[in-house]
């Protein structure tokens, strides 16, 4: 890491100071390591530090970092009739978004990201832009909306007429022809589920993709996909930069599980929770109508239980919610089977919601399986819903005087295949517009998303370094336990381990254990909203 100290006036930098003062800032830039089969390239980190209160700007790359002679042009939005009544056309150079919004009065200013939005100067003329859009990974609600708004935004706001879709995910760059996209061709696609362009997992060959980008003359590439796809986008950006191409590589993070780090939530999540309600409602009706009826609903959530948690809170008909972050056990005092029996005796029916990644260690003990992975490198999960249903049936077979009626519902592919709802449609529009504004302004190598309610440009490495997960020591999970009245199923060691892990990240969030094995956050304690539940709600 090379570090240089420079003295600059406050106007062009991302820290506001009185005009009469100068400030000393440290700008650190880690050059991209050359990739080889034996070594993995280090992420391209660009940071600005200084000013008062420990300010750190985790900046995103700009085309002028490696093309210093690049010309800029006035933003055509300043003459756009639709924006004539907007009081402030452009985002100011010093506007940033704080990663943490709740702090102590003595806390440092901390990490910030560049605020998204249109800039006064752009680095592409409208007639020179040749844009490409690709969707990768599994489908989720909102993909078509993002495609539509990228196309319409580029065309209607910036006058771009050369926009192309890459079919079939990353492989489509070198295995398929492109599809011309116009506002007319994408009209109405936001009312359909899935993706107009098709998608696939894996299959990324960075060199071939960049060869295709170069051969086809693309200078803006929009990549819509999950953390694996964003890692691919980072590799593409690095190769584009290494070749010195004038090409902005932009990511729009997507995951129905809501496990993308840093951002408040991922698009499609609200729609998924809403669609999950229909499955829970059906399970509740079935359970109420049967003798000692049990409805088991398996929802998406490979490593993070956000859909299960929020669907449970929204439903209020759920008696037990099981997620990957919170271990559970079946047999013995305080176990799940004891709770099921008690709830049936008390209410005559119950509904269980289980995330697909929950209890995988228990399932693995009870059945032989192959340790296989899909094309994206994700471990293939066993069907915890089917296994749990069987375990409950086996338990009550031993109690012939206690007959049960169990219905198992797996709405996984129904949930992710539905069109996005109104909330997600608006959200996808904002994401698409923020992405294209950044590309036109010359920024590259970034993902876009809301951080504490404000859209920001986030370096790829921040998006891909870890997954967002439900904190079982947070008030949001405590609300679920209060809503369902289920046991926490945790040993004291489980809770202490979760508390220690949290303490390593945010020391002020760790509180002593309370009676019953649950750890709570004191009402007076400041909380990192992002880590609290991934949606900014406390």
302 is in an annotated binding site: yes
255 is known to lie in a ligand binding site: yes
Would you say 182 is a known binding-site residue? Answer: no
Calculate the alpha carbon distances from 362 to 22, 112, 379 in Å: 61, 41, 16
235 belongs to an annotated ligand binding site: no
Cα radius of gyration (the chain): 25
Q: Is 401 annotated as a binding residue?
A: no
Is 416 annotated in some ligand binding site?
yes
Query: Is there a binding annotation on residue 522?
Result: no
User: Is 413 known to sit in a ligand binding site?
Assistant: yes
Other CB atoms within 10 A of residue 26 CB? 13
Exposed/middle/buried for 220, CB within 10 Å: 0-12, 13-18, 19+?
Answer: buried
**CA end-to-end distance (rounded Å), the chain:** 38
Task: Please tell me whether 367 is known to bind a ligand.
Answer: no
Residues 6+ apart with CB under 8 A from 76: 122, 126, 157, 158, 159
Nearest partner of 461 among 127, 238, 231, judged by Cα: 231
Whether 382 contacts 326, CB under 8 Å: no
**Nearest in space to 388 (alpha carbons), one of 338, 354, 412:** 354
Q: Which of 44, 257, 259, 270 is the catalytic position?
A: 257
Question: Is 23 annotated as contributing to ligand binding?
Answer: no
Is 300 part of any known ligand binding site? yes
Burial class from Cβ neighbours inside 10 Å (0-12, 13-18, 19+) for residue 215 reads: exposed
Find, among 294, 8, 245, 248, the residue nearest to 131 by Cα: 248
- Whether 228 has a binding-site annotation, put simply, is yes
Nearest of 404, 320, 325, 386 to residue 357 by alpha carbon:
325
**414 among the known binding-site residues?**
yes
Is 201 one of the annotated binding-site residues?
A: yes
Rounded CA-CA distance 100/83 in Å is 31
126 annotated to bind ligand: no
Q: How far apart are CA 197 and CA 167, in angstroms?
A: 5
The response to whether 119 counts as a known ligand-binding position is: no
Pinpoint the alpha helices (H) of 384-474.
384-397, 412-416, 422-440, 460-464
Count of other CB atoms within 10 angstroms of residue 245:
18
Distance, in Å, from the CA atom of 134 to the CA atom of 202, rounded to the nearest integer, reads 13
Distance CA 131, CA 222 (A): 8
127 is catalytic: no
Give the residue numbers of the binding site for Mg(2+). 227
For the annotated catalytic residues, the residue numbers are 257
Residue ranges of the binding site for ATP? 138, 201-202, 226-229
Q: Which residues are annotated as a binding site for substrate?
A: 255-257, 300-302, 356, 413-416
């Amino acid at each position: 890491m090379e570090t240089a100290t420079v003295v600059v006036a406050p106007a062009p930098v991302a820290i506001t100071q009185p005009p009469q003062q100068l400030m000393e800032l440290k700008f650190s830039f880690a050059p991209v390591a050359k990739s080889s089969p034996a070594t993995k390239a280090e992420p391209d980190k660009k940071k600005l530090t200084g000013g008062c209160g420990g300010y750190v700007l985790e900046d995103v790359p700009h085309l002028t970092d490696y093309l210093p002679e690049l010309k800029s042009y006035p933003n055509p939005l300043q003459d756009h009739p639709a924006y004539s009544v907007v009081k402030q056309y452009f985002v100011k150079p010093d506007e940033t978004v704080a990663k943490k919004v709740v702090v102590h009065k003595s806390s440092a200013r901390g990490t910030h990201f560049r605020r998204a939005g249109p800039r006064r100067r752009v680095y592409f003329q409208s007639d020179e832009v040749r844009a490409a859009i690709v969707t990768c990974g599994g489908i989720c609600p909102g993909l078509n909306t993002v495609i539509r708004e990228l196309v319409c935004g580029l065309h209607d706001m910036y006058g771009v007429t050369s926009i192309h879709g890459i079919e079939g995910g990353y492989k489509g760059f070198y295995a398929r022809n492109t599809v011309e996209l116009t506002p007319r061709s994408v009209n109405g696609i936001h009312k359909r589920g899935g993706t107009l362009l098709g998608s696939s997992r894996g299959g990324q060959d960075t060199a071939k993709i960049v060869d295709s980008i170069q051969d086809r003359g693309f200078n803006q590439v929009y990549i819509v996909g999950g953390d694996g796809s964003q890692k691919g986008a980072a590799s593409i950006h690095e190769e584009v930069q290494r070749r010195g191409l004038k090409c902005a590589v932009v990511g729009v993070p997507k995951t129905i599980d809501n496990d993308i780090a840093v951002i408040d939530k991922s698009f499609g999540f609200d729609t998924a929770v809403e669609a999950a309600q229909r499955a829970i409602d059906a399970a509740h009706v079935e359970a109420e109508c049967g003798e000692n009826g049990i409805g088991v609903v398996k929802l998406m959530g490979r490593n993070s239980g956000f859909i299960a948690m929020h669907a449970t809170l929204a439903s209020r008909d759920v008696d037990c919610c099981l997620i990957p972050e919170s271990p559970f056990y079946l047999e013995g005092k305080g176990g799940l089977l004891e709770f099921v029996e008690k709830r049936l005796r008390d209410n005559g029916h119950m509904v269980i919601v289980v995330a697909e990644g929950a209890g995988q260690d228990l399932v693995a003990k009870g059945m032989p399986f192959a340790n296989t992975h899909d094309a994206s490198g994700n471990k293939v999960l066993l069907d915890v819903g089917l296994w749990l249903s069987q375990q409950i049936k086996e338990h009550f077979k031993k109690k012939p005087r206690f007959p049960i009626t169990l219905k198992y519902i797996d709405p996984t592919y129904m949930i992710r295949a539905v069109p996005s709802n109104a909330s997600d449609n608006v959200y996808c529009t904002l994401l698409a517009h923020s992405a294209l504004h950044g590309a036109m302004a010359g920024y590259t190598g970034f993902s876009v998303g809301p951080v504490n309610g404000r859209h920001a440009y986030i370096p790829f490495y921040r998006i891909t370094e870890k997954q967002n997960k439900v904190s079982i020591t947070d008030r949001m999970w405590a609300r679920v336990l209060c809503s369902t009245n289920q046991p926490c199923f945790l040993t004291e060691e489980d809770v202490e381990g979760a508390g220690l892990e949290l303490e390593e990240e945010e020391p002020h969030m760790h509180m002593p254990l309370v009676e019953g094995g649950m750890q709570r956050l004191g009402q007076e304690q400041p909380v990192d909203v992002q880590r609290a539940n991934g949606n900014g709600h406390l």
